[in-house]
């Protein structure tokens, strides 16, 4: 059977995950990109409604403001502007031009608002209180309502920490800390966190887009900080990071509380670091035949 080429629009095509999506799906499809610097559609979605000149079979909305701790009202507002207004403008642009058959929204497990827990499933209520999590909840609601209204197959992928070459965010901070020798495991680094490889996300999108639904995607293993740190250390040719016992970390955290969120370690950060936070991907395994590669088996830092 000859595969039918699809016309696919990828927003956030120049982002960390967007690049993996473009690389994977451009093998058998015609891809168009949308970003602030794209050659196809150079658009700032938070400020303008795009005007499209062709119909797409599939739209993958991967553009968004990444998770970080905001320090001002202006930074809080950025999450709403980019993740909510940006999504609304994209949907309006599609509605003004031509509707796709399928729409995939890249969301986050942050919507659950959990700081600890094991194997949290999609049936869990979305109760995020932070600006990032709330913006993703609102964007999910926009996408779901729009897809129902326009009879578009809707898929929402809720993602944990994403691993891949030259990763952003907390993972790159960990890599730099190990490289420069100032990263330490806390309480033996036993806490487990859900992760997933960028290339696995990209590869499952066509199947998910055909079926629709809301899915957590993880590698199914949920590595510990200690396991991840050891893997990174080996790739960098560094010795395995040392350990800060919990009693000492707690003392440092109490001192850090005096400086609030700017402190490298405070009580809130310590609780997050030493708590398991994992998500259940059994729905994706059952409906999409999701069979990802364990992050520890394939993660390369560069």
Residue 62 lies in a domain: yes
CATH code (residue 60): 3.40.50.720
Query: Can you give the pLDDT at residue 69?
Result: 53
Strands (E), the chain: 7-11, 30-35, 41-42, 58-61, 102-108, 117-120, 153-159, 161-163, 185-186, 195-197, 213-216, 243-244, 277-279
Residue 106 lies in a domain: yes
Q: Say how many C-beta atoms besides its own lie within 10 A of residue 33's C-beta.
A: 22
This prediction has a pTM of 0.94
C-alpha 54/C-alpha 144 separation (Å) is 23
Give domain status of residue 11, yes or no: yes
- What pLDDT is recorded for position 262? 75
Tell me, what's the pLDDT at 150?
Answer: 97
Residue 291 lies in a domain: yes
| Assigned domain for 37 exists | yes
Query: Would residue 297 be called left, alpha or beta, if left means φ above 0 and alpha means ψ between -120 and 50 degrees?
Result: alpha
Q: Tell me if 82 is assigned to some domain.
A: yes
- Check residue 248 and give its pLDDT: 95
| Tens-digit pLDDT profile for residues 255-265 | 998 887 778 88
pLDDT of residue 67: 55
The SS3 call for residue 265 is: coil
Is residue 173 domain-resident? no
Q: How many domains does the chain have?
A: 1
Helix, strand and coil content of the chain, in percent to the nearest 5, comes to 45, 20, 35
Domain for residue 171, yes or no? no
Cβ count within 10 A of residue 90: 27
Longest dimension (CA), the chain: 65
Tokens at 126, concatenated: 């979305």
In angstroms, what CA-CA distances link 215 with 131, 154, 188, 288, 291? 22, 11, 31, 9, 13
Domain that holds residue 21: 7-163+196-221+278-298
Burial track 156-190 (b if 16+ CB lie within 10 A, e otherwise)? bbbbbbbbbeebeeebeebbeebbeeebebbbebe
Q: Can you list the residues of the chain whose pLDDT is less than 70?
A: 1-4, 67-75
What local confidence, expressed as pLDDT, does residue 73 receive? 63
Specify the pLDDT at position 64: 86
């Amino acid at each position: 059977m000859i595969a039918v080429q699809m016309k696919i629009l990828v927003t956030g095509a120049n982002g960390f995950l967007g690049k993996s999506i473009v690389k994977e799906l451009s093998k058998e499809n015609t891809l168009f990109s949308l970003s602030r610097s794209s050659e196809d559609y150079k658009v700032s979605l938070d400020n303008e409604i795009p005007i499209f000149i062709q119909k797409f079979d599939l739209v993958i909305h991967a553009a968004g403001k990444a998770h970080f701790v905001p320090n001002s009202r202006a930074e809080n507002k950025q999450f709403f502007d980019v993740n909510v207004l940006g999504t609304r403008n994209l949907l309006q642009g599609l509605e003004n031009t031509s509707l796709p058959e399928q729409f995939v929204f890249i969301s986050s497990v942050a919507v659950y608002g959990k700081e600890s827990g094991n194997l949290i499933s999609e049936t869990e209520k979305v109760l995020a209180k932070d600006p990032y999590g709330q913006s993703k909840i609102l964007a999910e609601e926009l996408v779901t309502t729009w897809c129902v209204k326009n009879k578009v197959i809707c898929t929402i992928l809720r993602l944990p920490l994403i691993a891949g070459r030259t990763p952003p965010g907390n993972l790159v901070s960990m890599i730099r800390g190990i490289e420069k020798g100032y990263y330490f495991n806390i309480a033996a680094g036993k806490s487990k966190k859900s992760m997933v490889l960028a290339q696995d996300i990209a590869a499952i999108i066509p199947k998910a887009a055909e079926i629709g639904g809301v899915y957590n995607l993880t590698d199914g293993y949920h590595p510990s900080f200690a396991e991840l740190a050891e893997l990174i250390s080996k790739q960098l040719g560094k010795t395995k990071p040392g350990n800060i016992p919990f009693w000492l970390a707690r003392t440092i955290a109490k001192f850090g509380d005096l400086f609030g969120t700017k402190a490298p370690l405070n009580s809130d950060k310590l609780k997050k670091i030493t708590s398991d936070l994992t998500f259940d991907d059994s729905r994706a395994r059952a409906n999409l035949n999701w069979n990802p590669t364990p992050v520890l088996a394939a993660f390369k830092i560069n």
